[in-house]
Amino acid sequence: MSFERTEKEHVLESLMAARRQGQLAELSLRFQDKPEEANRIREGTTRLSTEIDMLIGRMMDEWTGRADTAIKRLTAANGKLETAVGDIKNRIKIAQNVVKVIGFLDDAVAIAKKAAAAM
């Protein structure tokens, strides 16, 4: 089964939303003068950006696999990512939330790689 165009766009939009949340977390940490934590998140965001760029470059090809599974996983990850970023902005459990954000970005990278492998 190949992904439909709207499904491809939804997967890509979800990945870009995850990247944006990572960027917001990094920015919040920089404003809080926590460069070490910000740099760790930046590394995860950079890995995700690389995967997004690869997917964009291959969007003209047919994707195979199940888009709905990727969409559900990305939606769940993005919701948790937004919560963790909000907690960082509110200075709640910074260290734990940095680890969470990095984990969610890594999850998004894994989803992107799986989608790319299914092409």
Alpha helix stretches (DSSP H) within 32-90: 35-57, 67-89
Q: Torsion angle, CA of 111/3/81/89, rounded to 10 degrees?
A: 120
Give the least confident one: 13-17, 49-53, 58-62, 75-79: 58-62
CA 54 from centroid of its chain's CA atoms: 14
**Which residue in 27, 23, 47 sits closest to 35, CA to CA?**
27
Structure tokens at 86: 């909000």
Which two tokens mark 98? Answer: 């940095």
Cβ contacts of residue 83 below 8 Å, gap of 6+? none
pLDDT, tens digit, 9 for 90 and up, residues 90-112:
999 999 999 999 999 999 888 88
pLDDT of residue 115: 74
- CA 89 vs CA 28, 52, 92, 98: distances in Å: 6, 25, 8, 11
> What's the chain's average pLDDT?
86
Q: Which of 26, 22, 12, 11 is nearest to 81 (CA)?
A: 22
C-beta separation of 38 from 95 below 8 A: no
- Name the more confident of 106 and 71: 106
DSSP state of 64: B
pLDDT exceeds cutoff 90 at 113: no
Question: What is the mean pLDDT of the segment spanning 68-80?
Answer: 84
